[in-house]
Structure 1
Amino acid sequence: MTSAPAPSSRVAILADLLDFERAPGALDISDAACRWRPAHWLLIENGRISAIHPDGPDARPGPDWHCIDASGQWLMPGFTDAHVHSAQIEIIGAFGEQLLQWLERYTFPAEQRMAQADDARACSQDFVDGLLRCGTTSAMVFPTVHATSVDALFEAAQAAGMRLIAGRVMMDRHAPAALCDSVESAERDCRALIERWHGQGRLAYAITPRFAPTSSPAQLALAGRLLAGTPGLYMQTHVAENPAEVDWVRQLFPDARSYLDVYERHGLLGERSMMAHGIWLDDIDVALLAQRGAAVAHCPSSNLFLGSGLFDWPRARDAGHGLCLASDVGAGTTLFMPQVMMDACKVQALRGQRVTAWELLHGATLGAAQALRLQGEIGQLEPGCAADVVLWHPALDDLQRRRQRVARSLHERVLAWLSLATPQHVAQVWVAGQRRV
């Protein structure tokens, strides 16, 4: 990673700009669904986008600007990963299990190592660096049950200037003893961490019960009280990822109408609630998410890898609740969001449905910002937004250049790029006006 001009520097980037002003229509592949501004200057002052204007004979900013001519490269908002586990980067690609067995065999042992401050700091730094190298500048993250892992993660994100939402994982049952807390210890740690980190710079705290099976009703009730007690807190958890998990929740909470209803009964569904997966929700659940203003983080790479199921994107989109994309590393196999987008495309193809490149890109930029109530701050190339921007190479070899050359529309160019892109396509990453990659 490298750093460059300080946040107070005046930086101007010339490139082809791509972002969204609104959500794209269903299956709309017209250029009107996105905002495409070729050969435009984007100006950054004090960590924020200050202006955008087309290139021309007299358009180049003056000598008091640090000008970067990236003509022909694409400039986009940095991606937002709406659900990812920082401690699980070392178990990407673990072999041969479905969700519940995978947790026992791989996840819990990896997370126990985060009790050690040195391990937590090293892992968190690798995680943050990995996100940035992949063009992800904001994330909603699960660390572990250890306060040390939360501190380490927030410290690494703060040093990089990232917009990051995270919180200490809560689980007081059905997990190894070394990872179990109690209602009392969860409350003590969470209150201290909220006081230390929530609202500090670009950081925010999320109440984080792992999922209903690993929290007692008393702990879920605590989570609801904590969420209601501090303005601006988020809530993140898992829901309806795997059929066996859904059956387990039904046994543990026989009075609840559904898995989602467990969270509803404990005051955990609201405008800042992010529910990972949501594959096995019924129509009543989906309508409730929209009613409460909550969002679903679709994790296609993870769902395919663990065989969890095929998420219904059109139903979620039409229901009107927040909808965004997430890597879910380490069950997910990559932090690279273009690959996650293409996995989402494949999931819908397996369902006999289609999703456009515009919907996928929107779900990792403006759509994610809206789901997190951060529109106007991230997710767009718009004056006033934080200068979290990524320069991309549209093509790196003859095959990719040929594919771009013969594409018949902008949508086809972008979908081909998503299909062929790798982290090597990242040219530069700027976070809050500082060059980090």
Structure 2
Amino acid sequence: MSITILKGDVVSAPALGQLDTTEQGYLVAEDGVIQGVFPALPERYAGAPVEDWGRALILQSLADLHLHAPQYPLMGTGMDLPLLEWLNAYAFPTEARYADPDYAREVYRLLSRDLAACGTTRVCMFSSLHTDATLILMEELEKAGITGFVGKVNMDRNSAPGLLQETTEESRRETLRWLEACQDFPHIKPILTPRFIPSCTDGLMTFLGKLAQERGLPAQSHLSENRAEMDWVRRLHPDCAQYWEAYAKYGLWNERTLMAHCVWSDQRERAAMRDSGVTMVHCPDSNLNLCSGFPQVQVMLREGVKVALGSDVAGGDRLSMFDAVAGAVRSSKARRMVDGADFLTVPEAWYLGTSAGAAYFGEAPGFAPGNALHAIVLSDDQLPQPHPLSLSERLERCVYRRQPGAIRAVWSAGRKIYEA
């Protein structure tokens, strides 16, 4: 049996808006599974090696439930365009490059290492429509120690003819080839990924819905991100009163479904998410960069909708989920200035970036016994100290401001995957 014991100032998020803090506590895992957080080391671990990180913070690692891996080189590019124009001008031409496996290998190796260094250990990720590049992405994530889901994108209409396109039959055939080839990855699993309703024909959506049911596969896509997009969906599916129904009628609307953005989801659409257990993935930076808007996150949480966070690289211009947490707070404050709604606190947003994301993978909130060890060691000793800060205040400051080399070490599924 292997034992991991981390000593430091331990902070976790056991519930929305709540932080558990233990100064100079011990986070203990056996064979990669958390046993608990203790103020003093239990006698049964006497003599076991302890990694003493001094006054560094020991935190849950972060979960990014929506990002586009092939857009990683695009971060910070084209931010003067709204969504649909940005896709055509920047995203689609960049994604077309992943027909080249060598280019895919170069980019995806960098992305995977960057995720580990950022403290992101769980992901739900879009690849491109290229099967071989998708398998390369899954392989590089495995090598870097990241866990989660990756999807080969499906898009058989309204793409970029001559540049980035596939026929319905190609999309079906390549999806099956991809699923057959990725069965042996231990930590990165497949997720069905219709890009969004306008990019998939009825025939392709029918195929994906049947595949999800037959193989028990999760699904991810976009929902109500942009008003022009929503108008487009209404024209394509006049039988659907709302955007979400265009997923539901194909069987892609259940507790394994992730829907990014949901900026313009009204009460009926939110109720449909809650009642079916769909997880809404809030992408604050992308929503602002692409002029989409500010979703009613606090309302969703009160209504019982499951909410987690995503970077949405490269609509989002930063990979670190610390920035997504800060962005979620800022976005909620912008919303407050419009309609007076409550804004998210840092502990609430931290929960969304950690425990809420982990919940999609079946784990309990915080450093709960029985969870796999996903943890970050974060130093803040070089930041100016205006006065003695509580552990909660130190976390809040590190969400907004981190010293160079702040992340000292990262564990993912019980394995140390990064050390500075």
TM-score (norm 1): 0.89
Partner residue, 1:246 = 230
Distance 1:187 1:101, change over 3 A: same
* Aligned equivalent of 1:17, options 10, 25, 44: 10
In 2, distance between residues paired with 1:187 and 1:129? 31
Displacement of 1:62: 4.5
State whether structure 2 residue 217 is matched by structure 1 residue 225. Answer: no
- Would you identify which runs of 4 or more consecutive aligned residues in structure 1 move more than 6 Å? none
Change (3 A) 1:180 1:310: same
Which of residues 2, 9, 20 is equivalent to 1:35?
20
| Structure 1: unaligned runs, 5 residues or longer | 1-7, 25-32
Residue aligned with 1:81, SS:
strand
The aligned counterpart of 1:44 is 29
Find out whether 1:76 has 2:59 as its counterpart. yes
Q: C-alpha distance in 1, partners of 2:251/2:11? A: 38
Cα deviation, residue 60, structure 1: 10
Q: SS of 2:6's equivalent?
A: strand
User: Where does residue 107 of structure 2 map in the other structure?
Assistant: 123
1:4 corresponds to: none
Say which is worse superposed, 177-186 or 272-281, in terms of deviation.
Answer: 177-186
Out of 59, 70, 73, the residue aligned to residue 87 of structure 1 is 70
User: How far, CA to CA, are the matches of 1:144 and 1:422 in structure 2?
Assistant: 34
Q: Deviations over 1:205-254 (max 9, x none)?
A: 111000011111111111111111112x2100011111111111122222
**How many pairs are equivalent?**
411
Whether 1:210 and 2:210 are equivalent positions in the alignment is no
Partner of 2:59: helix, strand, or coil?
Answer: strand
- Using the alignment, how far apart are the partners of 2:358 and 2:268 within structure 1? 25
Counterparts of 2:49 and 2:72, CA distance in 1 = 36
Aligned positions of 1:254-333 closer than 5 A: 254-333=238-317
- Aligned counterparts of 1:396 and 1:105: Cα–Cα separation in 2: 42
SS of 1:383's partner is: coil
Separation (CA, whole Å) in 2 of partners of 1:422 and 1:323: 29
1:98-121: CA deviations, max 9, x gaps?
101100111011101111111111
User: What is the DSSP-based 3-state SS (H/G/I as helix, E as strand, rest coil) of the residue aligned with 1:34?
Assistant: strand
Please list, as runs of the form range in 1=range in 2, the aligned pairs for 1:60-209 lying within 5 A after superposition: 61-63=45-47, 65-95=48-78, 96-177=80-161, 178-198=163-183, 200-209=185-194
Distance change in 2, residues 1:329/1:395 (3 Å): farther
Give the CA deviation at 1:430. Answer: 1.5
* Corresponding letter in the other structure for 1:374: G
Q: Which runs of 5+ in 2 are unaligned?
A: 337-341
State which of 366, 380, 386 in structure 2 corresponds to 1:394.
Answer: 380
Contact in 2 for aligned 1:338/1:421 (Cα 8 Å): no
Q: How far apart are the structure 2 equivalents of 1:76 and 1:87?
A: 29
Partner of 1:28: none
Tell me the secondary structure at the aligned position of residue 179 of structure 1: coil
Q: Work out the CA distance in 2 between the residues paired with 1:151 and 1:199.
A: 11
Shift of residue 394, structure 1, vs aligned partner: 3.2
Partner Cα distance (2:308, 2:381) in 1? 26
Q: Distance in 2 between matches of 1:223 and 1:329?
A: 25
TM-fit CA distance, 1:125: 1.0
Q: Normalization by structure 2: what TM-score?
A: 0.92
The CA deviation at 1:9 is 4.6
Q: Which residue of 2 aligns with 1:429?
A: 410
Counterpart residue identity of residue 386, structure 1 = A
Residue identity matched to 2:406? H
